[in-house]
Amino acid sequence: MKTLEKRRFGSTDEQLTVLGLGGFHLLEISDRDAVALINTYLDAGGNYIETAAEYGKGESERKVGLVMKKRRQDCFLTTKCHVRDRSGALKTIDQSLRRLNTDYVDLLILHHVQTEQELEMIYAEGGAMEAFLQAREEGKLRFIGISGHGVPDVLIKAIKEKEFLDAVMTGFNFYDYFNFPDTEHKLIPLAKEKGLAIIGMKALADGLLWEYPEESLRYVLSLPIDVLATGFNTLEMLEKDLDIVSRFKPISPEEREEIFTQNPILGNYVCRLCNKCLPCPEGINIPEIYLYEGWYDRQLRDWKIRDMPEFSLRDRLRFWYDNREIARDAYKQLKIRADACTRCGECLPKCPYNIDIITKLEYCHFKLTREAASSIFF
């Protein structure tokens, strides 16, 4: 097996393997299997291990800690803190270190910061950032990061306006590119400009892309990110990913376009944001409305008949990031919404992907104007 590629971690001197081990799925396996999996990853040359205090209320950290007793120096160790106030964060950090059997972590991440209110709370007097800075002074952590899911606006604001950050973590995959395009178009260039490390996650879109592991990993690793955290719960999955990454070659522009135009998971429902359907005679910004649908439920509820396993997977994942309120608020601000459609059909032959634009607009309006109590169904 070839060695794993390493990339510089932001502005630091650290060189990390592009394939990292994410600890969420360690919750699904026994201590024995978790130890075997982590050791196999380290033996293969991997050196980025990540977990979080919130994963199983510390259970994932505990399992990682079983290996860290003997192999702490073999990896760049990351965990995450979800607490927003100073005293609570200090307590959580110490608990994490005890579970991980270490005196320090290399990177501590502000976990899933989703709203501007959370961000301001973290940076306010008595907020979690004070705890992070104190812990860094005490040698309990080396670098500070922030993570978020879905709509990247809060992370972009943090990178632009806030201090002390060394890294940013969010999801990248060829499906959600069309739901959250600003992660590639805005967040990556801004993080590079500021010298922040970029940690990718969700290359398989939380399992939606399970049939396309090679395309998925190659797509994300072809982006200018520093490390990709991936989850495994079997040695077979780990070995498959190690093999793919050891053979990694960046995708060409032609391959990227082929994925966008021909991959079955995108099909004839997911909008590719190409704008070829415009202009609309009624002034409807069709791609913008479809983008808000992507924020809302990742364009996963399309009312197509599927077998139960596929339906259940899509239904489980559509609100995974819970950006529903953001999507509805954005839709409310539009002067011309989807219900202005007169069904003239002028847009239909313009779409290269044969999307039934009129019906999809009706779905979007239905989703984005329903009361929150109905959202578990729509």
* Domain boundaries along the sequence of the chain: 6-258, 286-374
Mean pLDDT rounded to a whole number for the chain:
96
pLDDT at residue 272 above 70?
yes
| Alpha-carbon separation of residue 104 from 13, 63, 289 (angstroms) | 18, 16, 46
Residue that has been written with the tokens 């579970």 in this structure: 99
Whole-angstrom Cα distance, residue 202 to residue 149?
10
At 230, which helix (H) or strand (E)? strand 227-231
pLDDT at residue 93 above 50?
yes
Task: Please state at what angle helix 128-137 crosses helix 86-100, rounded to 10 degrees.
Answer: 50
Whole-angstrom Cα distance, residue 356 to residue 303?
12
Whole-angstrom Cα distance, residue 332 to residue 318?
21
pLDDT at residue 376 above 50?
no
Give the pLDDT confidence score for residue 3 in this predicted structure.
Answer: 84
pLDDT at residue 373 above 70?
no
Contact status, residue 231 vs residue 204, Cβ threshold 8 Å: no
Count Cα neighbours of 218 within 13 Å in the Cβ-side half-sphere.
16
- Helical H segments across 103-205, by residue range: 116-123, 128-137, 153-161, 182, 188-194
Higher pLDDT, 372 or 148: 148
Residue that has been written with the tokens 């201590």 in this structure: 31
pTM over 0.75: yes
Contact status, residue 280 vs residue 346, Cβ threshold 8 Å: yes
pLDDT at residue 2 above 70?
no
Whole-angstrom Cα distance, residue 55 to residue 14?
26
Mean pLDDT calculated for residue range 35-57: 98
334 pLDDT tier (thresholds 50, 70, 90): very high
Q: What percent of the chain has pLDDT over 70?
A: 97
Whole-angstrom Cα distance, residue 292 to residue 298?
9
Give the pLDDT confidence score for residue 7 in this predicted structure.
Answer: 98
pLDDT at residue 374 above 80?
no
Instruction: Report the CATH number of the 6-258 domain.
Output: 3.20.20.100
Contact status, residue 296 vs residue 262, Cβ threshold 8 Å: no
Whole-angstrom Cα distance, residue 13 to residue 204?
29
- Token pair belonging to 276: 């070829």
